[in-house]
Amino acid sequence: MFDTRDLGPVPGENYTADTRNYPWHRPPEIDTYDGTVDYVIDRMRDEQTAEIVYSLMEIGRPLTNIVAGLMMQGIGRGKFQIDMAVLAAGPVYRYLQMLADSSNIKYEDGLNKKRIPITATTLKMVMGIIDDEEAPEEPVEAATAPVGGLMGSPSPEETTEAPADVQAAMLGMTDEEEEV
């Protein structure tokens, strides 16, 4: 006799499972942008949620993390879809900024303005493979993208303006009619 518990899921088992038991597998309750923003802002006006949001801002949690948490909560409850959460994240972030400013809370915005580029050398330093003494003095700058090419924008020298009669023909403003 062998133990079937060690075999893992049966192939095709996911096709027989009822996926409607998860809220995010059903159609969302809110399907408009304005409705999504209003729902999240109304949730922040709830006393318990407001306490959590203000506490998180006071202890220095980035606003981006707070917004992500609020959005994930709405998605997990089946209130709105992921794409709507992405669209509504900006206004919710701005609302949190205004709340923090009006309450004189110094907040961390969560935007990486002074981001350190990740290179092989910085990873080795973090992992302890090389010491600071062996590291180069200045970080290597990333290569710049070439100008021009098939999909690139043309350089100013390559741009030319079509004559007025050609432009008019492109816009369909000519008196000539094509013979069929």
- pLDDT tens, 66-100? 999 999 999 989 999 999 999 999 999 999 999 99
Tracing tokens 């004559």 back to the chain, one arrives at: 163
Token digits for 162? 């079509």
Helix (H, G, I), strand (E, B) or coil at 136: coil
The more confident residue out of 36 and 173 is 36
Name the residue type at position 12. Answer: G
Token digits for 5? 């518990």
What does the pLDDT read at residue 53? 93
Please check whether residue 78 is in contact with residue 111, taking contact to mean a CB–CB distance below 8 angstroms: no
From CA 120, how far away is CA 93, in angstroms rounded?
34
The more confident residue out of 117 and 90 is 90
**Helices (H) then strands (E): counts for the chain:** 7, 0
Residue 131 has pLDDT above 70, yes or no: no
Token digits for 72? 């994930």
Residue 172 has pLDDT above 90, yes or no: no
Q: Region 168-173: what's the mean pLDDT?
A: 78
Would you give the end-to-end CA distance of the chain in angstroms? 82
Residue 136 has pLDDT above 70, yes or no: no
pLDDT digits (tens, 9 = 90+) for 26-64: 889 999 999 999 999 999 899 999 999 999 999 999 999
Please check whether residue 17 is in contact with residue 51, taking contact to mean a CB–CB distance below 8 angstroms: no
Please report how many Cα atoms fall inside a 13 Å half-sphere around the Cα of residue 144, on the Cβ side.
Answer: 3
Q: Region 146-167: what's the mean pLDDT?
A: 71
Return the domain boundaries, the chain: 16-102
The more confident residue out of 66 and 169 is 66
What does the pLDDT read at residue 180? 46
State the alpha helices, DSSP H only, in the chain: 13-16, 33-45, 47-58, 63-76, 82-102, 120-127, 164-170
Maximum mean pLDDT: which of 44-48, 111-115, 152-156: 44-48
Q: Across all residues in the chain, what is the average pLDDT?
A: 80
Residue 175 has pLDDT above 80, yes or no: no
